[in-house]
A and B are shown apart, each in its own frame.
Chain A
Amino acid sequence: MEPILEVKDLSISFTQYGRGTKQVLLPVIRDLSLTIAPGQVVAVVGSSGSGKSLLAHGILGILPYNSHMAGEITFLGQPLTPKRAEKVRGKEIVLVPQGVTYLDPLMKVGPQIRKGRWDQSARQASRAVLERYGLGADTEERYPFELSGGMARRVLIATAAAETPKLVIADEPTPGLDARSAKRVLGHFREMADSGAGVLLITHDLELALTIADRVAVFYAGETVEEANAADFTAGKLRHPYTRALWNALPQNGFVPIPGAQPGPGEVGEGCPFAPRCPKQQPECLGPVPYREWDGGLVHCLDPEGGE
Chain B
Amino acid sequence: MKHRLMFTGKKLIRMALLLLGVSLAAFLLMSASPLDPLQTNVGQAALGTMSQEQIAKLEDYWGANTPPVERYLGWLGDFVRGDMGTSLLYRQPVSQVIGQRLQNSLWLMAFAWVISGVLGLTLGVLAGANRGKPVDKIIRGYCWLISSTPAFWLALVLLVVFSVWLGLFPIGLSVPIGADAASVTLADRLYHAFLPALTLSITGVANIAMHTREKMADIMESDYVLFAKARGESTRSIVLRHGLRNVALPAITLQFASISEIFGGSVLVEQVFSYPGLGQAAVNAGLGSDLPLLLGITVVSAAIVFGGNLIADLLYGVVDPKIRRGVARK
Q: Kindly state whether residue A192 has any CB partner on chain B within 8 Å.
A: no
Contact B232 A97 (CB under 8 A): no
Contact B231 A89 (CB under 8 A): yes
- Of A57, A87, A95, the residue contacting B231 (CB under 8 A) is A95
Give the distance in Å from the alpha carbon of A104 to the alpha carbon of B230 in the complex.
Answer: 13
Interface residues of A in 265-291 (CB under 8 A from B): none
Given contacts A104-B245, A143-B321, A145-B322, contact A91 B232 (CB under 8 A): yes
Binds A, one of B220-228, B258-266, B304-312: B220-228
Query: Which A residues are in CB contact (< 8 Å) with B321?
Result: 106, 143, 145
Q: Kindly state whether residue A90 has any CB partner on chain B within 8 Å.
A: yes
Give the distance in Å from the alpha carbon of A114 to the alpha carbon of B8 in the complex.
Answer: 38
Given contacts A97-B223, A97-B227, A116-B237, contact A105 B246 (CB under 8 A): yes
Contact A90 B224 (CB under 8 A): no
Give the distance in Å from the alpha carbon of A195 to the alpha carbon of B233 in the complex.
Answer: 26
Given contacts A62-B230, A95-B231, A106-B321, contact A101 B223 (CB under 8 A): yes
Q: Kindly state whether residue B325 has any CB partner on chain A within 8 Å.
A: yes
Contact A89 B232 (CB under 8 A): yes
Interface residues of B in 67-96 (CB under 8 A from A): none
Q: Whose C-beta in chain A lies nearest to the C-beta of B322? A: A145
Contact B246 A102 (CB under 8 A): no
Contact A159 B246 (CB under 8 A): no
Query: Which A residues are in CB contact (< 8 Å) with B137?
Result: none
Query: Which B residues are in CB contact (< 8 Å) with A102?
Result: 223-224, 226-227
Give the distance in Å from the alpha carbon of A57 to the alpha carbon of B246 in the complex.
Answer: 24
Q: Kindly state whether residue A180 has any CB partner on chain B within 8 Å.
A: no
Across the A-B interface, how many residue pairs have beta carbons closer than 8 Å? 68
What's the interface size class on B, roughly?
A: 20 to 34
Interface residues of A in 47-98 (CB under 8 A from B): 57, 60, 62, 65, 86-91, 94-95, 97
Q: Kindly state whether residue B14 has any CB partner on chain A within 8 Å.
A: no
Query: Which B residues are in CB contact (< 8 Å) with A107?
Result: 241-242, 245
Q: Kindly state whether residue A293 has any CB partner on chain B within 8 Å.
A: no
Min CB distance, A97 to chain B, in Å? 5
Query: Which A residues are in CB contact (< 8 Å) with B322?
Result: 105, 143, 145
Min CB distance, B304 to chain A, in Å? 30
Give the distance in Å from the alpha carbon of A90 to the alpha carbon of B230 in the complex.
Answer: 6
Q: Kindly state whether residue B4 has any CB partner on chain A within 8 Å.
A: no
Q: Kindly state whether residue A146 has any CB partner on chain B within 8 Å.
A: yes
Query: Which A residues are in CB contact (< 8 Å) with B232?
Result: 86-91
Q: Kindly state whether residue A103 has any CB partner on chain B within 8 Å.
A: yes
Q: Whose C-beta in chain A lies nearest to the C-beta of B240? A: A116
Residues of chain B having any CB pair with chain A under 8 Å: 132, 222-224, 226-233, 237, 241-242, 245-246, 248-249, 320-322, 325
30 A-B pairs with C-beta separation under 8 A: A57-B226, A57-B230, A60-B230, A62-B226, A62-B230, A65-B132, A86-B232, A87-B232, A89-B229, A89-B231, A95-B230, A97-B226, A97-B230, A101-B222, A101-B223, A103-B227, A104-B241, A104-B242, A105-B224, A105-B246, A105-B322, A106-B245, A106-B249, A107-B242, A107-B245, A116-B233, A116-B237, A116-B241, A143-B322, A143-B325
Complex A-B, nearest 8 residue pairs according to Cβ-Cβ distance, in ascending order: A90-B232, A90-B231, A102-B227, A95-B230, A101-B223, A102-B223, A143-B321, A104-B224
